[in-house]
Amino acid sequence: MINSEKDLSIEELADIDWLSVRAINICQKFDLLTLNQILAFYHQNGSFMKLRNCGKKTEIELTELCEKYKEQSIPFVLGKGDPYVIINELNPLKRSTLNRHIEYLISNLSVRAENGIRNISKSGSLKEILEKIYEPGYQFKKIQNIGDKSIEELINFKLKISSFINQLSTLKNEQLSIEYAKLIVKTTFKNLPDNLGTEFERVLDPSGRI
Helices 92-107 and 111-118 cross at an angle (nearest 10°) of 140
Separation CA 167–CA 164 (nearest Å) = 5
Q: What is the pLDDT of residue 77?
A: 38
> Is the whole model's pTM more than 0.85, yes or no?
no
Contact present, 112 and 157 (Cβ < 8 Å): no
Q: What does pLDDT average to in each consecutive run of 10 residues of the chain (210 residues)?
A: 57 86 87 83 81 88 86 44 68 82 88 88 80 80 83 85 79 72 70 70 68
Q: Quick one: pLDDT at residue 62? A: 92
Angle subtended at Cα 176 by Cα 171 and Cα 178, rounded to the nearest 5 degrees: 130
Q: Identify the helix (H) or strand (E) that includes residue 108.
A: none
What pLDDT is attached to residue 4? 39
Instruction: Answer for the pair 119, 144: CB distance below 8 angstroms, yes or no.
Output: yes
Dihedral sign of CA atoms 143, 27, 39, 102 in order: negative
What is the amino acid identity at position 198? T
